[in-house]
Structure 1
Amino acid sequence: MSSAFLRVARLPGGLALSRIGLETMRLTGPMAWGRPENWDTAIDVLRTAVEVGVTNIATRHEYGPRVANDLIRIALHPYPESLVISTTVGLARAPDRSWAPSLDTDSILRTIYENLALLTVSTLDLVHLCVAGGVPVASPFRVLAGLQQERLIAHLGLCCADPGQIRDAREIAPVVSVRIPCSAAVVGSETQVFCAAEGIVHQLCHPFARREANQSEVIRELAAQRGIPAGRLWLAWLLHQHPSALLVVGTSSVAHLRENAAAVETGLEQDLVERLADIEQALVRR
């Protein structure tokens, strides 16, 4: 599979994001806490991702914490020029492994500097600010914009943002990417429509969050008829339905990674498209 085939979106400066990206959360321990059960396999997943043409790897300092960034550095440093490593800030982990907003200036600065150190880079390619729950975006985004001015960050984005938050952020600095949790309830959401209209790269994350979608009996039967895994068919469907979106998929398996990447080469006949559309609409109505 050629890396050129996987590329679809370009950021200012010519960086290309592959249509299928790798989310590193599942490379760590359960609940994104601690080391993976098999460290060497996690390293192999990252190296295989680059081998098959993935140029979009998403991480967080809080995965582990620190474990995902350690894995990326050990597996891939020095990084290929084509690779974009994106990170997300604005959430912190508690000892009970829960997540909580962390948008104060000190927390953001600390997380950025820790990302720089662990990844062993002088500039972070792309940093998303998580603003779930409609929190005010201006103050923390100004902190990131200041770091961008210092050339510690190349590009800025948002995560879990609504159109109003995106507009507020764009008054401060360009927003080149928005991460959108991917489920049947949010695909085609107001945020995705807004990003598509404004030419903002939008990344649909965790596309297997609705397990009843890709594991349903109908999906399995349709995939079996084509001789492909059900998950690959579901990803191919999402790519078909949302041609301006990227998918960021987590896995801890080299085999699954290859299956996911192969979704970009999976064509869908019209009758199959119609059947899959019926399945998605049924999920949305639930």
Structure 2
Amino acid sequence: MTTTSPSPSSLAGRSVGRVGFGTMQLPGPGVWGPPADRDRAIGVLRTAVDHGVTHLDTADFYGPEVANHLIRDALFPYPDTLLIATKVGVRRDDTRAWLPAAAPAELTHQVHGNLRNLRRDRLDLVYLRVGGDGLLDHDPTPFEESWGTLAELVTKGDIGCLGLSGIVPGHLPRATAIAPVAAVQNRYNLFDRGSEDVHHACTEAAIPFVPYFPLGTTARRRASVLTEVADGLAASPAQVALAWLLNRHPGILLIPGTGDPGHLLENLGAAEVAGRMSDADMARLTALSS
């Protein structure tokens, strides 16, 4: 078995490799319905774990329910080393929109749905999705009420640890006054550093930062620098973009997703590329602004 990262990190009290796997791309187009090739999706999940992935990121609203059913069917009974993180606070309607759903009853229903669909007695890590890409309108539920509901479910034993997603730095003190924050997920990558302030706040508080969309979009005017660095390292641009994140700070954990077995193995190779990246390479990449 291949280890995806030479330096495991701590997440929700567990030791995990720094390169994990996100399941958002496993359902059908628009993160809706089943995949075109279910066996291929199952195979990607099994290959990820076979190659040392110990951190999966999912949500019951991927599909909806499709991603969690795939995880269950591919990997149950789960290895003791596998941490599965999920998210709540969002629902999908018949138009396939992404809508906030963070009222106490909604969150409790979502947690129980994740438990059932993943076939678990307790969820390792649950993120409250507060805002961010694709969410329409604004949930009227006060943040403290939503977070407090999840904290009660930790006390009841349904959840192990809590995280936050799509936040601004001000959410952290408000959350920690009620319950510890085990991790934060915000959009952040080589070409989109709009959450730099959140990353900095997590670094200061020693909270793991798990960027979603870690590959981002390669803008044409910047692609030449990325390609030049990749060519010098005999790596792909995607590997270099992920390696930049790994070298940015040891508290960053990655969850790149794909439904392609070849892309999966390419992404898992980012840890090795990070080890070969020079300070000059990092400086050139860091100089790119969003």
Q: What TM-score, normalized to structure 2? A: 0.90
Runs of 5+ consecutive residues of structure 2 not aligned to the other structure: 133-137
* Matched-pair contact (CA < 8 Å) for 1:215–1:231: no
The one-letter amino acid of 2:46's match is: R
Q: What is the aligned partner in structure 1 of residue 217 from structure 2?
A: 210
* Matched-pair contact (CA < 8 Å) for 1:205–1:249: yes
Q: What is the aligned partner in structure 2 of residue 123 from structure 1?
A: 122
Aligned residues: 279
* Matched-pair contact (CA < 8 Å) for 1:214–1:231: no
Aligned counterparts, 1:98-137, within 5 A: 98-132=97-131, 136-137=142-143
The one-letter amino acid of 2:108's match is: L
* CA offsets 1:105-162 (integer angstroms, 9 cap, x no match): 1211111111101111110000000111697420011111111111000011110112
CA distance in 2, matches of 1:108, 1:213: 41
Going from structure 1 to structure 2, the CA distance change for 1:65 and 1:215 (only over 3 Å counts) comes to: farther
Higher helix share: 1
Q: What is the aligned partner in structure 1 of residue 135 from structure 2?
A: none
Moved more, 46-55 or 225-234: 225-234
Runs of 5+ consecutive residues of structure 1 not aligned to the other structure: none
Aligned counterparts, 1:166-245, within 5 A: 166-183=172-189, 184-186=191-193, 189-212=196-219, 216-245=223-252
Aligned counterparts, 1:248-267, within 5 A: 248-266=255-273, 267=276
CA distance in 1, matches of 2:282, 2:272: 15
* Matched-pair contact (CA < 8 Å) for 1:126–1:156: yes
Q: What TM-score, normalized to structure 1? A: 0.91
Going from structure 1 to structure 2, the CA distance change for 1:124 and 1:94 (only over 3 Å counts) comes to: same
Query: Aligned-pair distance for 1:163?
Result: 2.0
CA distance in 1, matches of 2:16, 2:131: 24
Query: Aligned-pair distance for 1:7?
Result: 2.1
Query: Aligned-pair distance for 1:240?
Result: 1.2
Q: What is the aligned partner in structure 2 of residue 270 from structure 1?
A: 279
Query: Aligned-pair distance for 1:238?
Result: 1.7
Question: Are residues 1:161 and 2:167 paired?
Answer: yes
SS for the counterpart of 1:201 is coil
Higher strand share: 1
Query: Aligned-pair distance for 1:47?
Result: 0.8
Structure 1 residue runs of 4 or more that deviate by more than 4 Å after TM superposition: none
* Matched-pair contact (CA < 8 Å) for 2:87–2:127: yes
SS for the counterpart of 2:99 is strand
Q: What is the aligned partner in structure 2 of residue 7 from structure 1?
A: 8
* Matched-pair contact (CA < 8 Å) for 2:144–2:174: yes
